[in-house]
């Protein structure tokens, strides 16, 4: 029988011995086993540390794009994961949360690269002036820790649990060692095998120990980070490990908790909120068979509605079909194992010492397509605790399965008290259409919950629900929930970075941070900064403009143009008692005048004004005052190109407006979109094309495909005839829903993929040649190109049809020609 393998120190290996058996949750049959015997855990951790430098040297943009590529790769492999996930007892919906929810974490964290600089480390917050003269300052930087992230995960989400953590530590530049729970480690193993096979991660970025290595914390070091997801009891034991204390290792604990959902007093039967509440409770009890750390364990309702809630919830649970999760008609599968089912039963018995079981049965369950005695099936159980302030079992005992307890409250204050009696949870929710009730509950209960969902008729259709942690939000909670935080957007990534305060001069800190610091030294340049491409712009490069005197007429005209007739600009008889001495220029006129001084009029790499981030008017400018501007590159931010735009980045420019006494009167930070250099393609001038064709002979060999030299040249001739409109008798083959994206690809600097079959040619076969020899084909191709150029010279606004890209204009034909010729000339080694 196969064992669940480990991926450590760059290789897949088996543990020693037979190991502990792992059973199919539905059929009860053993199909694998797990053992960690023989693993050299200290060497595994050190391997990750030693190889982590590759990740650390990648920029945030490179790491983010790596995650995006990995997510796209895994999505294509997802079906195999679904088939394996059924063995855990999960339905299709349950598996979707785990599998595609896990991939979603990769996508979401990949997008966070836009919030980080295009460098290996992060600069946090604003600069801090430590002196009156502005020549001594500080800034915080955050660099990747030089250890490994050790993730000890729970059994209920073997894919999501791994990727929600790894996506974050990879974005931070830190390698991971993942320890999935042995019950479902086989599903984690399947995903890791695909991740490693993809070749997208640097070696050492991910290692897998399939099971419980009890000595995993014995050799962790100060640069490592440990996270644990699982039971509060085990988590607290791990948290006190002496090595963690000795080395001051960060430890994040995310534990199961007694999450509560509250029904608002206004949510009477018949209201949308009442129905929303019942369905939400039913969903949270039955998704993943209730094996979610965020599931609703306590149902807190107004005491006058407890009977209605009990009856309505019972009717909803009656609709839940249980059995083989592969069947479409099944809505709930099984618990992960017989051991887990026994544990849930024992916990329910503890709850039932004071509470009554009002729905369900611990021993009897009807199943569809499965043997209830072989699989780990359990019917949903609802208990009712009528004295929740007196009896604490429901607030301290968790049955980690399809189990929840209804309890009454007399007032919203009492509901808050009951929610807090869980001593800290990952999430709470309140269903109400009264925002005053929602506010009172949220403000008073927030100290005891990591997340609070306010649910009502307005957001129910779009809500992700009570039990869904999201990558952009903190996942964690106080007290019993562990006191830790996971995910949370940038917050989560910062957990794997070391914060360091750096002090020095503005010039030194400009160099360290990559962000120009006010009063730092300028780098004077000979050309206008707007004439540089994105790659050539550096923080600190600066331009000092000529001067402009602001006239009375300028101010009046600006007021008339904008309709801004504020008295300081238009009524000088009203200045008495104000801060103004004379007719004052509008602040936005000063900003506009500054732009007039520094804007580069010629067409160049700057393609658009992208916005304004910061603007301060430090003192008034009056008529007849003279100003000049200092324009300095503050920061560069990489970005993905969108739509019909060429690859570009964002440049932040620090604008300082001075008067003739060199006193600073205004500052602003403006953003421009700056085009990147095109360094992928050779420009296809007539001279270059002729040169390439001269090098092409009958004996030239293609690097890919079946085209002969003459077939290639005749293909290019046809392309030019299509471009000039001579040949348009064909249908566009790209489906309408993909056509826009396909057309936008012309604007990228991505080469065409080798081996693409041109839709108008025979599939897998060569076309009949039109010309007698290669030389004739070359002449005809050049002639057709000349016709194409003349056509668009005479018809510059014309649009002609392309079989792949649809209707395209003159400029897009130029882009396509460049890509197309580079593609085929590279095919025959002509470039």
| Calpha distance 171→121 (Å, rounded) | 11
The sign of the dihedral angle between the CA atoms of 185, 190, 196, 198 is: negative
Q: Which alpha helices (H) appear in 745-809, and where do they start and end?
A: 774-794
The sign of the dihedral angle between the CA atoms of 419, 420, 422, 424 is: positive
Q: Is 254 a catalytic residue?
A: yes
Residue 820 in contact with residue 682, Cβ under 8 Å? no
Nearest to 312, CA basis, from 265, 277, 356, 347:
277
Interaxial angle between packed helices 774-794 and 709-723, expressed in degrees from 0 to 180 and rounded to the nearest 10: 20
Across 410-540, the runs of DSSP E, i.e. the strands, are 428-431, 452-455, 474-476, 485-487, 497-504, 523-524
Residue 23 in contact with residue 30, Cβ under 8 Å? yes
Residue with tokens 């331009």: 543
Strands 548-549, 626-638: pairing is antiparallel
Residue 159 in contact with residue 191, Cβ under 8 Å? yes
DSSP state of 757: P
Q: Which residues contact 14 (CB under 8 A, 6 or more apart)?
A: 3, 5, 6, 35
Other beta carbons within 10 Å of 789: 16
- Tell me the backbone φ, ψ of residue 502, rounded to 5 degrees: -115, 125
The three-point CA angle 136-139-142 to 5° equals: 150
Q: Which of 164, 189, 265, 293 is catalytic?
A: 293
- Tell me the backbone φ, ψ of residue 463, rounded to 5 degrees: -65, 140
| Calpha distance 58→620 (Å, rounded) | 46
| Calpha distance 17→23 (Å, rounded) | 18
Residue 423 in contact with residue 326, Cβ under 8 Å? no
| Calpha distance 346→349 (Å, rounded) | 5
The three-point CA angle 111-202-159 to 5° equals: 60
The continuous run of DSSP H or E covering 359 comes out as: strand 356-359
Q: Which residues contact 63 (CB under 8 A, 6 or more apart)?
A: 55, 113, 170, 171, 173
| Calpha distance 428→639 (Å, rounded) | 37
Q: What's the token pair of residue 397? A: 């005992």
Provide the greatest CA pair distance for the chain: 99
**DSSP for 275-298?**
HHHHHHHHHHHHGGGG--TTS--E
Nearest to 403, CA basis, from 516, 549, 494, 290:
290
Range 31-34, long-range pairs (CB < 8 A, 24+ positions): 31/1, 31/2, 31/87, 32/1, 32/2, 32/3, 32/4, 32/186, 33/1, 33/3, 33/4, 34/3, 34/4, 34/182, 34/185, 34/210, 34/211
- Tell me the backbone φ, ψ of residue 194, rounded to 5 degrees: -70, -40
| Calpha distance 411→391 (Å, rounded) | 18
| Calpha distance 436→353 (Å, rounded) | 37
The sign of the dihedral angle between the CA atoms of 322, 323, 324, 329 is: negative
Q: Is 500 a catalytic residue?
A: no
Strands 149-152, 137-144: pairing is unpaired
Q: Which of 189, 254, 284, 485 is catalytic?
A: 254
Interaxial angle between packed helices 185-198 and 160-172, expressed in degrees from 0 to 180 and rounded to the nearest 10: 40
Residues annotated as catalytic are 254, 293
């Amino acid at each position: 029988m196969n064992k669940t393998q480990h991926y450590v120190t760059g290789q897949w290996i088996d543990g020693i011995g037979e190991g502990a058996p792992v059973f199919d949750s539905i059929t009860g049959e053993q199909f694998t086993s797990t053992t960690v015997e023989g693993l050299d855990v200290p060497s595994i951790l050190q391997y990750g540390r030693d190889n982590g430098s590759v990740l650390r040297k990648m920029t945030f943009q490179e790491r983010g794009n790596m995650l995006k590529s990995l997510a796209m790769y895994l999505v294509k492999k997802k079906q195999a994961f679904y088939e394996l996930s059924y063995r855990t007892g999960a339905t299709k919906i349950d598996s979707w949360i785990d599998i595609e929810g896990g991939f979603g974490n990769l996508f979401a964290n990949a997008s966070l690269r836009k919030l980080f600089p295009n460098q290996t480390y992060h600069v946090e917050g604003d600069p801090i002036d430590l002196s009156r003269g502005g020549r001594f300052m500080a800034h915080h930087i955050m660099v990747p820790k030089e250890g490994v992230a050790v993730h000890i995960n729970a059994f209920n989400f073997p894919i999501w649990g791994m990727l929600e953590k790894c996506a974050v530590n990879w974005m931070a530049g830190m390698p991971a060692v993942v320890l999935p729970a042995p019950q479902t480690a086989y599903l984690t193993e399947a995903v890791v095998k695909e991740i490693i096979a993809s070749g997208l991660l640097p070696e050492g970025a991910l290692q897998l120990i399939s099971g419980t290595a009890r000595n995993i914390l014995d050799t962790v070091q100060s640069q490592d980070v440990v996270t644990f997801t699982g039971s509060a009891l085990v988590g607290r034991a791990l948290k006190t490990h002496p090595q963690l204390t000795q080395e001051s290792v960060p430890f994040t604990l995310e534990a199961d908790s007694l999450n509560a959902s509250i029904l608002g007093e206004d949510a009477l039967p018949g209201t949308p909120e009442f129905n929303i509440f019942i369905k939400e409770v039913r969903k949270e009890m039955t998704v993943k068979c209730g094996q979610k750390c965020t599931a609703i364990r306590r149902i807190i309702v107004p005491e006058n509605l407890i009977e209605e809630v009990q009856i309505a919830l019972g009717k909803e649970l009656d609709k839940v079909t249980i059995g083989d999760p592969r069947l479409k008609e099944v809505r709930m599968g099984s618990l992960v194992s017989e051991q887990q089912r026994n544990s849930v039963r024992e916990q329910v018995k503890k709850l039932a010492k004071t509470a009554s079981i009002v729905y369900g049965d611990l021993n009897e369950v009807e199943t569809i397509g499965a043997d209830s005695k072989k699989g780990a099936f359990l019917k949903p159980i609802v208990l009712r605790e009528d004295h929740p302030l007196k009896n604490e079992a429901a607030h301290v005992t968790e049955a980690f399965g399809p189990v929840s307890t209804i309890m009454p409250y007399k007032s919203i204050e009492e509901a808050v008290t009951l929610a807090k009696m869980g001593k800290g949870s990952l999430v709470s929710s309140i269903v109400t259409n009264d925002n005053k009730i929602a506010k009172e509950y949220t403000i008073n209960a927030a100290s005891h919950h990591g997340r609070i969902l306010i649910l009502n008729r307005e957001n129910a259709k779009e809500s992700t629900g009570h039990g869904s942690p999201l990558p952009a939000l903190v996942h964690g909670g106080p007290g019993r929930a562990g006191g830790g935080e996971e995910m949370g957007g940038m917050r989560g990534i910062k957990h794997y970075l070391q914060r360091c305060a750096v002090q020095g001069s503005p010039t030194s800190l400009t160099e360290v941070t990559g962000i120009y610091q006010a009063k730092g030294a300028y780098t004077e340049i000979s050309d206008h900064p707007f004439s540089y491409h994105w790659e050539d712009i550096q923080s600190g490069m600066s331009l000092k403009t000529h001067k402009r005197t602001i006239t009375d007429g300028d101010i009046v005209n600006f007021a008339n143009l904008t309709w801004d007739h504020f008295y300081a600009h238009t009524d000088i008889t009203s200045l008495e008692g104000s801060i103004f001495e004379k007719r004052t220029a509008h602040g936005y006129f000063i900003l506009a005048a500054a732009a007039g001084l520094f804007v580069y009029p010629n067409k160049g790499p700057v393609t658009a004004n992208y916005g304004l981030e910061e603007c301060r008017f430090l003192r008034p400018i009056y008529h007849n005052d003279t100003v000049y501007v200092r324009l300095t590159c503050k920061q560069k931010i990489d970005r993905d190109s969108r739509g019909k735009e060429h690859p570009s980045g964002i440049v932040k420019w620090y604008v300082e407006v001075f008067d003739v006494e060199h006193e600073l009167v205004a500052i602003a930070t403006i953003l421009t979109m700056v085009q990147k250099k095109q360094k992928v393609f050779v420009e296809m001038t007539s001279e270059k094309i002729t040169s390439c064709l001269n090098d092409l002979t009958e004996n030239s060999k293609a690097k890919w495909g079946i085209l002969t030299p003459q077939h290639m040249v005749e293909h290019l001739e046809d392309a030019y005839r299509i471009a000039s409109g001579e040949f348009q008798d064909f249908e566009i083959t790209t489906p309408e829903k993909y056509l826009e994206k396909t057309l936008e690809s012309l604007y990228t600097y991505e080469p065409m993929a080798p081996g693409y079959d041109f839709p108008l040619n025979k599939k897998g076969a060569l076309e009949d040649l039109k010309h007698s020899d290669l030389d004739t084909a070359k002449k005809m191709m050049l002639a057709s190109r000349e016709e194409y150029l003349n056509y668009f010279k005479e018809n510059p606004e014309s649009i002609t049809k392309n079989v792949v890209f649809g209707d395209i204009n003159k400029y897009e034909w130029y882009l396509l020609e460049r890509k197309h010729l580079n593609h085929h000339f590279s095919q025959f080694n002509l470039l």
